[in-house]
Amino acid sequence: MDPNQHPRIFSFEFIGLCLLIFLAYCNISVFYSLYVYFEALGVPQSWRGVLIGASALATMAAYLVVSPFLNTRNAAKAAALGIVILLGCGGAYLAAVSPTALLAVRLANGLGVALVSAGAMTLLVAVIPPTRSGQAFGVYSVAMLLPYSVMPPLFDWLSPAHIGYPQGYALVALALAPALIVLRVLGRGSRGQAHGNAHRPTLAAMAQNARKRPVSQLLAVNAMYYLSFASLFFLAKSLFLARGLAGVGIFFSIQTGCMIALRVFANRIFDLVPKIQLIRFCYAVTGATFLLLYGSRTQGLAYLAAVLLGCGMGVGSPSLNAFMYELSAPAFKSLNANLMMLSLQGGSFLGPILGGAAVGLYGYDGFLLVGAGACLLGLAMSLGLGTARPA
C-alpha cells in the first residue's frame, strides 16, 4: 500500500497546534457571560452588543493588516505576542468598569485573538496532508470546541457564586501561559521551512485572489454561518433567563458534545461526502434549531434543540474550511485560510449587534425567527458553489 495515499495527520506539529488553540479558546469561551456581566455592571443596553462585538471588530482589522505578511518563519512569534496580550486583557477586566475602559480591553482582546488564530492557522496549513484536509480541519476544530463544552458549565458554577465575573476572566486567562512554551517549540521547528517572504504573493495578487467568485462567495457563506451562531451564543443566557429556563451551560455542553462526537467518530465524512452538501445540511439543520427554540418552553425541548444544533453545526466548520482549502491555489492556501477566520470574526461581530437589535425590536421570539431567516439566507448564498473549481 502506498503510504502517500494515507499520509499521517497526527504529527508533533499538528498536535502542538491543537494544544495551542485549545488553550487559547479556553480563554475566549468564558465570555459567553459578558452580556449578563455588563447588565450587572449597569452598562447601558445600547453599549452591550457593541462591547461584545468590539473584540471581533478588532480581530477583523488585525487580520487584514497581519495576514498578508505571515509565514511559517514568523507565525509562532506573532501568536506568542497574541498570547501575551490576552494574558494582559484577563487582568484588565479587574479594573475596567466603564464602557470606554471596557471598550479598550475588548479591542485589545480582539488583537490578541487575531495574532494567535492567524499565526496558528498559518502553521496549520503548512503541515496538514492535502488529501486529508477535511479530517485535519475536523480534528483541529475539536480542539477549538472542547473549551465551549467545558468552560460554560464550569464558569456557571464558578461565577458569580464563588468569585466575581472579572476575577473569573482573569483566572481563566492564566491557562494561556503554557501556550508560550508550545509556541517556542513550534517556532524552533519552523525556522528551516521554505515558506519565507521570498515566496509570498504580492499584495495585488492577494487582492485579485480574494475577488474571485468562489473565494468571495465562500467567505460570505462562512460569515453568515458564524453570524447565526454568535447571536445565539451571546444571547442564550438572557434568553433562558427570560423564559425561566436553567442550565444554559448544560445547553452548550450538549451542543458542543454532539459536535465533538460527530467530528471524532464520523470525521471521514469530511473527505468522502461532497463538502458543499455538508455545508447546506449545516444551514438547514441550524435553521430548524432556531425554529425549535422558538417553540420551546420546557427544559427538555431546549436540550433537544442543543442536540439538533450540535448535529447541524458539527459538519459546518470543517467542511467550510476544507472546501476553501480545496478551492485555493497553492500560493494562497494560507492566506485564504486566514480570510476564512476574518469572515468568521465578521459574523461574530455582527451577530451580537444584530441579535441584540432583534431582541430590542421583536423580543426573543422575533430574534429566533430572524435567526432562522439568516440560516435560510446562508443556504441560498451557497447556490452555485457546488460546481466551483479551484480559484
Instruction: Give the pLDDT confidence score for residue 269 in this predicted structure.
Output: 84
pLDDT the model gives residue 389: 64
Q: Taking residues 87-116, what's their average pLDDT?
A: 94
The average pLDDT across 302-318 equals 90
Q: Which three cell numbers stand for residue 54?
A: 468590539
Quick check: 195 pLDDT over 50?
no
Q: Could you give the CA distance from residue 112 to residue 107 in angstroms, rounded to a whole number? A: 9
| Under 8 Å between Cβ of 268 and 135 | yes
Average pLDDT of the chain is 85
What CA–CA distances, in Å, run from 30 to 37, 157, 386? 11, 12, 37
Quickly list H helices, the chain.
12-29, 34-41, 45-66, 75-92, 99-127, 133-158, 165-173, 177-190, 203-211, 213-242, 248-265, 269-272, 275-294, 299-314, 316-327, 333-381
Q: Tell me the one-letter amino acid at 288.
A: A
Model pLDDT for residues 5-31, shown as the tens digit of each residue = 557 788 888 898 998 999 888 888 888
- Arithmetic mean of pLDDT, 200-214: 77
pLDDT of residue 148: 74
Structure confidence at residue 199 (pLDDT) = 58
Q: Per-residue confidence at 283, pLDDT binned at 50, 70, 90?
A: very high
For 105, the grid coordinates are 480591553
Higher pLDDT, 189 or 351: 351
Rounded CA separation 284/274 (Å): 16
Do residues 223 and 344 lie in contact, with contact meaning Cβ atoms separated by under 8 Å?
yes
* Predicted local confidence at residue 77, as pLDDT: 92
pTM of the model: 0.74
Query: Between the CA atoms of 259, 295, 33 and 255, what dihedral angle is there, to the nearest 10 degrees?
Result: -10
Domains, the chain, with CATH or none: 3-387 (1.20.1250.20)
Separation of CA 159 from chain center: 23
Checking if the pLDDT of 192 tops 90, the result is: no
How far apart, in whole angstroms, are the C-alpha atoms of residue 291 and residue 376?
A: 12
Would you state the cell numbers that stand for residue 161, as one nine-digit string? 457564586
- Residue 193 is predicted with a pLDDT of 52
For the segment 324-354, what is each residue's pLDDT rounded down to a tens digit? 988 888 888 888 888 888 888 788 778 888 9
Residues in Cβ contact with 365 at an 8 Å cutoff, skipping those fewer than 6 apart: 294
17 CB-contact burial (10 Å; exposed 0-12 / middle 13-18 / buried 19+): buried
